[in-house]
Amino acid sequence: MKTKAIIGVIALTLAVGAANIVQSVYADVQKTTPGGSEDPIVTKSYVDQKIDAITNGQSGGEGAGVSSKLQVVTVPLGSTLLVEEGGELIVRTGKAIAVSSDSNGLSDMTDGLDIAPGKPVGKNHLILFPRAGRGVMADPMQKNGLTVLVRGAYQLK
């Protein structure tokens, strides 16, 4: 008889525990109505536009751009390429000189160095722009401009 009572208590405890687990799982599920404020309906064109903006980047008009992809940019002799905060650049052809609106320079991620304004920027080095107002220009001692790869917003002046 004692055994049946113990088994009964154990079965009752398991049943109550299982009921509490099921109740807590269902309590976490939010009931939303499609099209309501918790689950809005959007158009296909809106979704396509947002996906396009993320995957292809957005251009900022003539002489300016922003993209998550590396863009090939030609910097004519006498022009300056200013890269926005957080942008990246790789010099592919030509001799580049660092430009900055203050005394701080560019971050050369390849060598782990700071490039002061007026100093050369190495080819095929990943350059990070920690703040806006910094960029590169073609060395005035050469005949041609630069070809660079840019990721992020930039302006060609």
Q: The pTM is what?
A: 0.56
- Mean pLDDT for 119-139 is 91
Q: What is the pLDDT of residue 49?
A: 79
Q: pLDDT class for 22, splitting at 50, 70, 90?
A: low
Q: What is the pLDDT of residues 65-92, one digit of tens each?
A: 555 788 899 999 989 999 998 899 999 9
- 32 in a structural domain: no
- 9 in a structural domain: no
Q: What is the dihedral of CA 123, 126, 130, 132, to 10 degrees?
A: 50
Total domains, the chain? 1
- Mean pLDDT for 124-143 is 90
Range of the domain at 85: 63-156
CATH of residue 69: 2.60.120
End-to-end CA distance of the chain: give it in Å, rounded. 94
Cα–Cα distance measured from residue 65 to residue 83, given in angstroms and rounded to the nearest whole number:
10
- Mean pLDDT for 111-129 is 91
